[in-house]
């Protein structure tokens, strides 16, 4: 541990966040290391330690004998104050070395509201915020994760972005860095050009000029070299059975968000919910075999001793071998008292058989996501579930002894009416009625249905990417209206802060001009804006407007269908034509079958080879 850090641990909360020395951490001999990589998670230790992607990439990089990857998390506010008071720079967990001693610094961008944490961490590390202000003696700053699909708001702060999955890209970047260093031809400028030219999936913002029209929309992206791509195609790992997966993980000293085995079952999604960015950018669907998953689960159990295992994916019930997998896991998890958790279950594939297999889950509640209160609006968003599906699913849960159900919805979806909002309350009431129908004539405890309503945010690479977000006033009226429709105390109503959702929409659909506002926010001390106690809407609007930006231009404006979008520089594998078709089908209230029922021609199969996207799909 860094001695300066050690000296102040007694004066901050949760010192285990900063102590390092955890079981399973990787220490290497610096004299044999040719590239040092600091993997930064722009949030607290407890959240970052629970991130599966970070666990995978930490292991992938450390497989390289001459590369040492270390972990870095954003210190909580009390620790930041002490660090600034004592002039202590941000350091890595394993070595305790300052970030300025590293060759590369990678940030995973999971959520737009973490952008201020990224800048805050650079500032704590005493690294200039903007790429243009960093010379050859400074680390290369790399971004990746879902928010990299529209990297423009933070583009001036990064040297390059990994677009897509990083298991192959990051080692390639390190090998190129080592090669150029050993050949004596490394400069930051030369390295960035070579990476953009030779490694697929690498986006270097400084190598592209952006011009604007008179109305403020983007005119064009123009590469400054002829030998770099005009559009960056995302990278995917084609065979997940052969892909790296950690058999050991770093074990924290303190409680984290997910103290459990996280078993990645498959990537991608066969569904086509029209609001969902993840369902598009993680295509094509690629599954692991049950045999591989069972062995990976055993290895992780033996190395961690965790008593809970979560099968992770965007929609676990869409895994084609779920029955075989759960049967093989239960052969040894029951004897070892390991409970299996199946998150992200769909109501149309929830069965009694599945319920029986997860009976060991401790929670007395189940969560489903109808997303909309009426069938009309569910058809608009292509949710492809019906009320009878939900009633059947909750009926199975109630018969199994569950008494609490949580339902997720969205407010502000395109074409939404007040009848759709009232439908949310009606649907919750029908769930309560179903509970008493299942237990008719019996004396039972009261049920509880919790409805959680988030605000629709038009995200890049979705059929709704062109839509305007509702104004704050409109969202507030809808939230109040829904509250007035809920009169049963057995129904609990919660909703997200529309003000946070508006700032998120600005950042999600923004371009490079937002960098000035983000830099000003950093200078004024913004951080942990995804935490309720730290978010201040008025301050956000102030820094945005003082930077000469109208937030409504990004959040509340319908983008033109032929407009150059800030994220058009990226090819996510799904064609813009497909997204346009899906938008048209939304407005005509037509659904699209899922990929295994009928191929929708989204284009994702070109990334993984013939029929990789949905090998079981019908033409």
pLDDT tens track for 328-370: 999 999 899 998 888 777 888 888 887 777 654 445 568 899 9
pLDDT at 619: 47
Measured CA to CA, the distance from residue 139 to residue 134 in angstroms comes to 8
CA separation, residue 534 to residues 76, 122, 362, 387, 540 (Å):
11, 19, 32, 39, 11
Measured CA to CA, the distance from residue 166 to residue 56 in angstroms comes to 9
Gyration radius of the chain's alpha carbons: 25
Rounded to 10 deg, the angle between the 515-523 and 537-546 helix axes is 120
Measured CA to CA, the distance from residue 399 to residue 408 in angstroms comes to 22
Surface-to-core class of residue 136, CB atoms within 10 Å of its CB (0-12 exposed, 13-18 middle, 19+ buried): exposed
Buried b / exposed e along 18-28 (16+ C-beta atoms within 10 A)? bbbebeebbeb
Ranges of residues in the chain whose predicted pLDDT is under 70: 1, 358-365, 608-619
Neighbours of 220 (CB within 10 A): 12
Question: Is the separation of the CB atoms in 57 and 41 below 8 Å?
Answer: no
**Strand 140-144 relative to strand 160-162, pairing:** parallel
pLDDT at 616: 53
Q: Which helix (H) or strand (E) holds 364?
A: none
Measured CA to CA, the distance from residue 103 to residue 91 in angstroms comes to 14
Closest-CA residue to 379 (of 430, 425, 414): 414
The pTM (predicted TM-score) of the whole model is: 0.95
Question: What count of residues does the chain have?
Answer: 619
Measured CA to CA, the distance from residue 582 to residue 604 in angstroms comes to 15
pLDDT at 612: 47
Neighbours of 364 (CB within 10 A): 11
Question: Is the separation of the CB atoms in 163 and 149 below 8 Å?
Answer: yes
Contacts of 596 (CB under 8 A, 6+ apart): 270, 614, 616, 617, 618
Neighbours of 350 (CB within 10 A): 22
Residue 258 has phi, psi (to 5 degrees) of -130, 85
Contacts of 444 (CB under 8 A, 6+ apart): 403, 435
Question: Is the separation of the CB atoms in 107 and 514 below 8 Å?
Answer: no
Question: Is the separation of the CB atoms in 471 and 520 below 8 Å?
Answer: no
DSSP codes joined into one string, 514-571 = GHHHHHHHHHTT---TTSTTT--HHHHHHHHHHTT--HHHHHSSPPPTTSBPTTTTEE
């Amino acid at each position: 541990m860094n001695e300066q850090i050690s000296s102040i641990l007694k004066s901050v909360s949760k010192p285990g966040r900063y102590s390092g020395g955890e079981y399973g951490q990787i220490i290497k001999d610096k004299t044999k290391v040719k590239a040092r990589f600091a993997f930064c998670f722009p949030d607290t230790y407890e959240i970052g330690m629970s991130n599966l992607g970070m666990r995978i990439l930490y292991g992938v990089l450390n497989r390289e004998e001459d590369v040492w990857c270390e972990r870095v998390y954003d210190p909580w506010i009390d620790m930041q104050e002490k660090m600034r008071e004592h002039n202590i720079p941000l350091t890595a967990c394993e070595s305790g070395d300052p970030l300025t001693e590293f060759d590369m610094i990678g940030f995973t961008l999971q959520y737009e509201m973490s952008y201020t944490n990224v800048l805050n961490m650079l500032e704590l590390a005493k690294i200039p915020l903007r790429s243009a202000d960093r010379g050859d003696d400074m680390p290369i700053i790399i971004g990746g994760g879902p928010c990299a699909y529209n990297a423009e708001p933070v583009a001036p702060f990064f040297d390059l972005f990994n677009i897509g999955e990083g298991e192959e890209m990051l080692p390639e970047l390190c090998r190129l860095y080592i090669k150029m260093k050993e050949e004596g031809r490394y400069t930051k400028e030369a390295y960035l050009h070579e990476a953009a030219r030779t490694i697929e999936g690498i986006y270097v913002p400084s190598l592209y000029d952006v011009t604007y029209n008179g109305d403020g929309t983007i005119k064009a992206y123009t590469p400054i070299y002829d030998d770099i791509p005009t559009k960056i195609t995302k990278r995917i790992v084609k065979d997940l059975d052969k892909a790296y997966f950690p058999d050991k993980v770093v074990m924290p000293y303190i409680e984290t968000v997910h103290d459990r085995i996280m078993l990645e079952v498959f990537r991608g999604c066969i569904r086509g919910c029209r609001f969902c960015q993840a369902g598009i950018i993680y295509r094509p669907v690629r599954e692991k075999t049950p045999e591989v998953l069972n062995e990976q689960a055993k290895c992780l159990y033996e190395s961690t001793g965790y008593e809970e295992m979560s099968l992770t994916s965007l929609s676990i019930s869409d895994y084609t071998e779920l029955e075989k997998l759960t049967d093989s896991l239960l052969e040894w998890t029951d004897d070892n008292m390991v409970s299996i958790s199946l998150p992200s279950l769909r109501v149309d594939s929830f069965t009694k058989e599945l319920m029986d297999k997860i009976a060991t889950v401790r929670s007395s509640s189940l969560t489903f996501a109808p997303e909309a209160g009426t069938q009309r609006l569910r058809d608009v968003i292509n949710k492809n579930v019906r009320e009878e599906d939900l009633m059947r699913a909750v009926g199975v849960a109630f018969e199994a002894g569950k008494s609490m159900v949580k339902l997720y919805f969205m407010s502000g979806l395109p074409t939404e009416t007040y009848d759709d909002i009232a439908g949310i309350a009606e649907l919750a009431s029908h769930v309560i009625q179903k509970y008493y129908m299942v237990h008719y004539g019996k004396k039972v405890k009261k049920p509880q249905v919790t409805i959680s309503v988030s605000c629709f945010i038009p995200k890049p690479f979705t059929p709704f990417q062109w839509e305007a977000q509702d104004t704050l006033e409109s969202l507030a009226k809808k939230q109040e209206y829904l509250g007035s429709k809920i009169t049963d105390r057995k129904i609990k109503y919660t909703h997200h802060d529309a003000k946070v959702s508006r700032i998120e929409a600005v950042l999600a659909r923004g371009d490079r001009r937002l960098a000035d506002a983000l830099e000003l926010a950093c200078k004024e001390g913004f951080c942990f804006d995804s935490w309720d106690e730290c978010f201040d809407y008025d301050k956000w609007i102030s820094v945005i407007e003082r930077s000469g930006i109208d937030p409504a231009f990004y959040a509340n404006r319908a983008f033109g269908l032929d407009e150059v979008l800030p994220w058009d520089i990226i090819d996510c594998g799904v064609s813009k034509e497909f997204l346009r078709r899906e938008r048209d089908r939304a407005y005509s209230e037509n659904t699209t079958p899922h990929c295994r029922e009928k191929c929708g021609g989204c284009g994702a199969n070109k990334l993984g080879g013939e029929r990789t996207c949905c090998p079981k799909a019908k033409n």
